[in-house]
């Protein structure tokens, strides 16, 4: 029995070391992204040329190019009119709105109301009788009905509320970012999942997750010139590039479009200054179904495009490295969970490799555990929401653990099965708990637009201090400490071991003094 315990303990410790080490590579990336975002968004001139500063929305556009806005609908009765009305009221003179509808419920009655249609003559309604190709199929149908003179296509999911100036901001970023480097095919904005953030603990947790992703991780990717993903909504793409490639029938059509754009030699620009607020899935079952679809479709596309990306001569090393990091994205939480469980087992049996210590093991666990929550804290700090929304971090950690087995199963399914599963719709309720996001978020917009001024001064129109000072320094210091924690623990254990050796072995003490004087 004792021999079995020894073997189980040793096996568990080696598995823990391997999986914990793999996840630590992700943790290092998350900590580095947090440091970059906290530094970059407070450093003079560092954002110039990155497409993060929209500047004057009308800059350089004598004639307004035609923009075609595509709205894919599938049973969206609760929110359909809300987004259509928002799009009709955009502050831009040359655009069309195309509703690509696959609905089979009362959404049809909402959209077919003659009085409603007559009051919105700029809106085209395209209805399909089947859901062939899911969202990608609906968007492909919209492409067929798009005005032939359209130069850009903007896409919004039904639960979003685009602000009036969003087209001008998109076009401004295209203008600024297209002057250097690879041609820009798409600009991705911030999907500000915020409207019902205070509905329950789950919505608060998902809100924190999105804050870390869009305010920290994607900002760092933009700064490093890495691959950026087109994320399904709140993006604008060149009509010629999109018409040439078309939409696929993947259940993650946005991720597949991203890969195809990069393989054609294009790049995607991300900016947090273009935002549209949206709804957050408010029940565990809806969130699980949504993330399982993402995990399966993502991994299936990675499998099909893996070697094409790595062997492409049109993609940079930074873009390929980001793809490699992103490839097993939906399996990383499983690495952490299994690795941590195995480490606990090895500690119970007190068996571990000779070079491994309890301090090093627990240091690795803590460092890995806090990497993503630190991104969420930093993201909310940069948005000015840390004081109100920090409890969401606990919900975020709970959500991450809850989703782990489901995402892992779906990712393995996408990796191993020949075909993807079906699209699972996420219900939008139209429920709003926080309607003043535009006012609250304005402080961030004003702050970022004033980054060209000297650090420490205040841009015009901003009454509050820039987000630097003790909180920022605390977050950056915590990131550095957590990144170094496993190495510090290992070094401390080594010092303790050497001290015991020297104290217990006189000859070792003589050798030590001879070597180090």
Alpha helices (H) along 93-200: 107-112, 114-118, 134-145, 166-177
Q: What is the mean pLDDT of the chain?
A: 82
Q: Are 161 and 195 in contact (CB under 8 A)?
A: yes
CA nearest to 129, candidates 100, 98, 154: 100
CA nearest to 151, candidates 24, 88, 83, 65: 65
What Å distances lie between residue 136 and 209, 223, 227, 246, 400, CA to CA?
Answer: 26, 30, 22, 9, 28
CA nearest to 139, candidates 100, 166, 95, 168: 100
Q: Are 51 and 271 in contact (CB under 8 A)?
A: yes
Percent of the residues in the chain that have a pLDDT greater than 90, as a whole number: 47
Given the structure tokens 């090093």, which residue do they identify?
360
Kindly report, residue by residue over 250-308, the tens digit of the pLDDT: 999 999 999 999 999 999 999 988 999 999 999 999 999 999 999 999 999 999 999 99
pLDDT at residue 479 in the model: 93
| 117 CB-side CA count, 13 A | 12
pLDDT at residue 351 in the model: 73
Kindly report, residue by residue over 143-181, the tens digit of the pLDDT: 999 999 999 999 999 999 999 999 999 999 998 886 667
Q: Where are the domains of the chain?
A: 2-52+60-485, 491-516
Instruction: Give 427's contacts (C-beta < 8 A, 6+ positions apart).
Output: 286
Calculated CA dihedral for residues 210, 212, 213, 214, nearest 10 degrees = 80
Q: Residue 515 and residue 437: Cα distance in Å, rounded? A: 64
Kindly report, residue by residue over 425-464, the tens digit of the pLDDT: 888 888 888 764 443 444 444 444 443 333 233 333 333 4
Q: What phi-psi label fits residue 94: left (phi over 0), alpha (psi between -120 and 50 degrees) or beta?
A: beta
CA nearest to 252, candidates 276, 228, 233, 280: 233
DSSP state of 425: P
CATH class of the 2-52+60-485 domain in this structure: alpha beta
CA nearest to 219, candidates 400, 426, 55, 53: 53
Tallying the residues shown for the chain, one arrives at 517
pLDDT at residue 327 in the model: 92
Kindly state the tokens that stand for 381: 């700090």
pLDDT at residue 487 in the model: 78
Q: Residue 277 and residue 506: Cα distance in Å, rounded? A: 69
Instruction: Give 468's contacts (C-beta < 8 A, 6+ positions apart).
Output: 42, 455, 456
Which residues in the chain show pLDDT less than 70? Answer: 1-7, 41-63, 117-119, 121, 178-180, 435-468, 489-517
């Amino acid at each position: 029995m004792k021999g079995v315990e020894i073997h189980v303990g040793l096996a568990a410790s080696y598995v823990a070391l391997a999986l914990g080490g793999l996840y630590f590579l992700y943790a290092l990336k998350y900590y580095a992204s947090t440091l970059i975002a906290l530094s970059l968004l407070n450093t003079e001139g560092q954002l110039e040329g990155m497409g993060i500063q929209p500047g004057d929305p009308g800059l350089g556009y004598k004639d307004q190019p035609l923009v075609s806005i595509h709205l894919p609908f599938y049973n969206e009765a609760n929110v359909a009119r809300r987004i259509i009305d928002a799009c009709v009221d955009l502050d831009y003179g040359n655009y069309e709105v195309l509703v690509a509808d696959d609905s089979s419920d009362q959404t049809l009655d909402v959209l077919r109301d003659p009085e409603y249609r007559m009051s919105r003559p700029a809106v085209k309604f395209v209805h399909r009788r089947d859901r062939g190709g899911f969202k990608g199929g609906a968007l492909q149908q919209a492409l067929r009905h798009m005005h032939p003179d359209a130069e850009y296509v903007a896409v919004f999911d039904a639960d979003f509320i685009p602000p009036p100036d969003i087209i001008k901001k998109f076009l401004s970023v295209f203008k600024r970012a297209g002057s250097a480097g690879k041609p820009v095919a798409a600009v991705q904005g911030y999907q500000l999942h915020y409207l019902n953030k205070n509905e329950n603990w789950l919505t608060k947790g998902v809100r924190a997750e999105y804050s870390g992703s869009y305010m920290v991780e994607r900002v760092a990717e933009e700064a490093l010139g890495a691959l950026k993903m087109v994320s399904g909504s709140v993006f604008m793409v060149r009509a010629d590039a999109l018409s040439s490639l078309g939409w696929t029938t993947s259940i993650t059509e946005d991720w597949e479009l991203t890969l195809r754009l990069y393989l054609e030699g294009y790049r995607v620009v991300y900016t947090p200054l273009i935002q549209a607020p949206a709804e957050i899935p408010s029940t565990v079952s809806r969130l699980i179904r949504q993330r399982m679809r993402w995990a399966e479709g993502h991994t299936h596309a990675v499998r099909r495009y893996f070697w094409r990306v790595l062997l492409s001569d049109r993609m940079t090393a930074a873009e390929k490295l980001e793809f490699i990091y992103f490839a097993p994205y939906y399996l990383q939480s499983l690495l952490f969970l299994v690795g941590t469980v195995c480490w606990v087992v090895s500690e119970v049996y007190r068996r571990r490799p000779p070079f491994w210590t309890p301090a090093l093991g627990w240091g690795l666990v803590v460092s890995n555990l806090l990497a993503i929550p630190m991104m969420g804290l930093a993201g909310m700090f940069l948005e000015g929401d840390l004081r109100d929304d920090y409890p969401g971090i606990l919900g975020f950690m709970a959500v991450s653990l809850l989703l782990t087995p489901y995402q892992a199963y779906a990712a393995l399914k996408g990796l191993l099965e020949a075909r993807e599963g079906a699209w699972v719709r996420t219900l939008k309720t139209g429920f709003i708990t926080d309607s003043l996001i535009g006012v609250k978020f304005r402080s961030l917009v004003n702050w970022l637009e004033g980054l060209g001024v000297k650090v420490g001064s205040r841009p015009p129109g901003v009454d509050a201090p820039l987000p630097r000072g003790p909180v920022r320094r605390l977050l950056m210091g915590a990131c550095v400490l957590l990144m170094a924690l496993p190495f510090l623990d290992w070094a401390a254990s080594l010092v303790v071991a050497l001290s015991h050796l020297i104290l217990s072995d006189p000859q070792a003490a003589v050798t030590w003094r001879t070597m180090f004087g």
